[in-house]
Chain A
Amino acid sequence: METDTKLRKFGRVCEIVDKYDRNPSKLIPILQEVQKEYRYLPEEVMTYVATCLDMSPARVYGVASFYANFALEPKGKYVVHICDGTACHVKGSGAIKEALYKKLKLSGDKPTTDDLMFTVEAVSCLGACGLAPVMTVNEKVHGQMTAESAEALIDDILAEEADNA
């Protein structure tokens, strides 16, 4: 199955560059779509995109490394964003982050679990201050979190994954 996924992903990369007419000025949207496929930007895929767009790989890497939104390391299946904007921060987002780091054995320097299941990142304002403290799991918003409810959420995901396995 995995082979099939990879074939499909590579096919998608080809589709994406073609969709944008291999136009170098469309590099950012291309990288955004490519990242959706891989959950990050693998080096060889960036090199391939550079070849297609007739740009230097150094330029593509420069753009990819400039924007925080682009990930250069593989991300987990579940990307957890913990809001650390002003409202969430004063409502105790720090404790939630620490609890998840501890539970998943992660840190600011190591945001992704070895089994590529979870990535935990602190981000600036998610724009849902009324629900502070807020976290998102793969873009789904969870409001008024506590360290305990965040841990419970992770446990739920783990249980679901175990069921599916």
Chain B
Amino acid sequence: MENKQTIIINGREVPFNGQKNLLEIIRSANIEMPTFCYHSELSVYGACRLCIVDIEGMGVVTSCSTAPKAGMVVRTHTDKLRKMRKIYMELLLANHHQSCTTCAKSSMCKLQDLAARMDVKEVRFQKTGCEKALDTSSPSLIRDPNKCILCGDCVRACDEIQGIGAIDFANRGASTTVVPAFEKDIKSVDCVYCGLCASVCPTGAIMPRPETEAVWDILHDETKTVVVQIAPAVRVAIGEMFGLEPGTISTGKMVAALKMLGFDKVFDTSFAADLTVLEETNEFLKRKEKNEKLPLFTSCCPAWVKYVEQSFSDILPHVSSCRSPQQMFGSVARETLPKTLDVKPEDLHIVSIMPCTAKKFEAKRPEFMKNDQPDVDAVITTQELGRMIKQAGIQFNQLTSESFDMPLGFKTGAGIIFGTTGGVSEAVLRYASEKLTGQKPDPDDIARVRAKDGLRVHTVKIGEAELKLAIVHGLKNICEIAEQVRDGQCDYDFIEVMACPGGCVTGAGQPVSHDDTAKELRARGLYNKDKDLQLHNSDDNPYLHRCYQQHLGDIGGHKAHELLHTKYSSRKRFDDVEFLISEEHHQERLGVNVCVGTSCYLRGSQKLLEDVMKHVKKQDLHEQVEVRATFCFETCDHGPTVRVGETVMKKATVETICEEMNRQLQVLV
């Protein structure tokens, strides 16, 4: 039987059932409680104090951190509470930059919104301390510590959802700041640029790095032909910039707006997503047939790719070699458009509109440069596109729809659902199933992969074959699986990973939303769009096959490999961390560098280092040998890695190291 209990809120009886805290119940009673530091998917922090309530017998407490008890008598907006909240707001503002007119977050800013709602008309407290420098080191994000109100949302999101902890609180009292380790810049630490911190930040302290100026410059250069690709998730969110409901499909209006902005051709990243489905599925089925390098991890999400490169590089062979749809589009467009549009290759500019901040980083990766030219010249987010449309004075809501240009604007529904968690798996299953059985699969059976959980496991039967898939969003959820794969203990066949909780629809480049249901509405928008289209299997895309015939050759063939695949390699988590065990560099001594980076550490490099040190001591080799611990030679897949002199030794043991040391010492003598 359902156990219904009640509490009294502002004199009215309100039932509750299962809510973890008072705040959720108050909100369920249609009373808006202001908060900065409360997010239902993060741990409770109780720092901003704005959700205070007055409870009979308890006094004033924060409702986010108070468990409900039947019969509680709660008041939420008494005169005393209203005044207290206003003072809290003033205190928060006293530490804030208050430069709203020049802040990109303006009008989407929770701080601004709540200050207005609490009727704060002046900030009586003088600002102390001096201006802090901006962190503009990364291609994806900009940190402005002057706008930080220390709510800690970004810290908890990075730690609890992504399991990374790239930023944290440092120092104490009035000097408290939120910074990367050792107050380095964000580029030098293990940030994966997913931008979740920016999504949860209630102010403009962490923002996607804008590239709109670069795009304006490209658009205003009359000699250039500018084409643009739009990611699936953008079309169900751009409307929010203009007051439409989350999930409203605004593809046609957006295409019209882009044409008005001056883009010559408007194409769809979903076309490239269809391409990805074909390449990735074939890669997967080949591996499955040979039963090697399974499970296959998807590689569409650039934040996940960076994460695996720096934290689990030994499982890189399991990651699909497919480029992401954005980069597939880039290389295909570079290959085909100069001819079809009759432009010189150097006059072709390619811009992406993405829901994602990590895509900005991806476009600048050296793997995706040819002759110093990136395949994708500039990446702007949904937010930035919204701002450009506003800057150009375009009345978005009044526009008449226009359609994508051909051929790179044609897609199937499979390419559309890429933008949400489970979408890639569903698209792959639709294609694989028809390819293997020759029959259209039961859509309901495949749609089982749709759900909200951060880790979902499904077994799907295709013909005789049974496929075990895992679908993961939020990088923290992948950790355990990645460890199992590393240890050879994982029996999944296919694993889809997206860093953002919910997939690309909730990317950090999407319009700021304080509405918890937006995620779901946007995903529903994509699924509805899929239904609207006639084709649902990437293999049915006729333009795709024409593209293969004319330009790419066979699926998974030589040319396809050159243009659509890549190779990722391990990267350091931290820049410039090395410590000498010896006092100083002695050129004449033989250097023995033992990696103590995460991966080598797990393979026992600490013990190795101790043993080498013991050996040096025992043989009295101090004068000839210099032992150093270093972080990462970037060959983590073969750790522990040790460099003796110039020789890099993989899978080193103390015996092989000593042998190599003795050999080199004899040569030196």
Residues of A within 8 A of B (CB): 2-4, 6-7, 10-11, 14, 42-48, 50-52, 55-62, 65-68
Contact = CB atoms under 8 A, between A and B. Distances in A.
* Residue among B170, B598, B631 with the highest chain A CB neighbour number at 10 A: B170
Contacts of B87: none
B601 interface: yes
A11 B613 contact: yes
Contact of A6 (B179, B582, B609, B617): B582
Contacts of B190: 56
Contact of B579 (A42, A59, A66, A68): A42
Interface in B482-523: none
B180 A51 contact: no
Contact of B577 (A7, A44, A58, A62): A44
A51 B610 contact: no
Contact of A11 (B170, B610, B622): B610
Contacts of A56: 159, 164-166, 168, 181, 190
Contact of A47 (B168, B171, B577): B577
B157 interface: no
B417 interface: no
23 contacts: A3-B581, A3-B583, A6-B581, A10-B629, A11-B610, A14-B610, A42-B579, A43-B577, A44-B578, A44-B579, A44-B631, A47-B574, A51-B598, A51-B601, A52-B601, A55-B165, A56-B165, A57-B181, A58-B166, A58-B170, A61-B170, A61-B181, A62-B170
Given A3-B626, A6-B582, A65 B165 contact: no
Contacts of B601: 51-52
A57 B631 CA distance: 13
Given A56-B190, A66-B169, 15 more contacts: A2-B582, A7-B613, A44-B629, A46-B182, A47-B181, A47-B574, A48-B596, A57-B181, A58-B168, A58-B170, A58-B189, A60-B181, A62-B169, A66-B170, A66-B171
B478 interface: no
Nearest to A17: B606
B167 interface: yes
A55 B631 CA distance: 16
Contacts of B613: 7, 10-11
B168 A7 contact: no
B172 A66 contact: yes
Interface in B550-584: 574, 577-583
A61 B580 CA distance: 20
B583 A51 contact: no
Contacts of B159: 56, 59
B255 interface: no
B180 A58 contact: yes
A94 B237 CA distance: 63
A68 B598 CA distance: 29
A57 B581 contact: no
B179 A58 contact: yes
A7 B581 contact: yes
A58 to B, nearest CB: 4
Interface string B127-139: 0000000000000
B614 to A, nearest CB: 9
A97 B70 CA distance: 61
Nearest to A47: B577
Contacts of B598: 51
A24 to B, nearest CB: 12
Interface in B589-611: 596-598, 601, 606, 609-610
B189 to A, nearest CB: 7
Nearest to A56: B165
B379 interface: no
* Residue among A2, A4, A50, A60 with the highest chain B CB neighbour number at 10 A: A4
Interface in B426-477: none
Contacts of A65: 170-172
Contacts of B597: 51
Given A14-B606, A51-B597, A59 B577 contact: no
Contacts of A14: 606, 609-610
Interface of B: 159, 164-172, 179-183, 189-190, 574, 577-583, 596-598, 601, 606, 609-610, 613, 616-617, 622, 626-627, 629, 631
Contacts of B580: 6
Nearest to A72: B182
A2 B583 contact: yes
A46 to B, nearest CB: 8
Nearest to A15: B610
A160 B589 CA distance: 33
A59 B167 CA distance: 8
A46 B596 CA distance: 13
B161 to A, nearest CB: 14
B182 A6 contact: no
Contacts of A50: 181
B582 A58 contact: no
A56 B169 CA distance: 12
A71 to B, nearest CB: 14
B582 A3 contact: yes
Contact of A52 (B166, B183, B606): B606
B596 A59 contact: no
A3 B622 contact: yes
A45 B181 CA distance: 13
A57 B188 CA distance: 12
A61 B574 contact: no
B192 to A, nearest CB: 13
A56 B626 CA distance: 29
Nearest to A6: B581
Contacts of B189: 57-58
A62 B598 CA distance: 20
B631 A47 contact: yes
Contacts of A58: 165-168, 170, 179-181, 189
A56 B182 CA distance: 11
Contacts of A46: 182
A2 B166 CA distance: 34
A77 B580 CA distance: 20
Q: Which 9 A-B pairs have the closest CB atoms?
A: A56-B165, A44-B579, A2-B583, A58-B168, A57-B181, A58-B181, A62-B168, A3-B582, A65-B170
B610 A61 contact: no
Nearest to A67: B172
A7 B609 CA distance: 10
A3 B621 CA distance: 11
A55 B164 CA distance: 9
Nearest to A48: B596
A118 B423 CA distance: 63
Contacts of B582: 2-3, 6-7
Contacts of B167: 58
Contact of A7 (B170, B606, B627): B627
Nearest to A9: B581
Contact of B581 (A10, A51, A60, A68): A10
Contacts of A42: 579
A90 B179 CA distance: 39
Contact of A59 (B165, B616, B617, B631): B165
Given A2-B582, A6-B580, A48 B182 contact: no
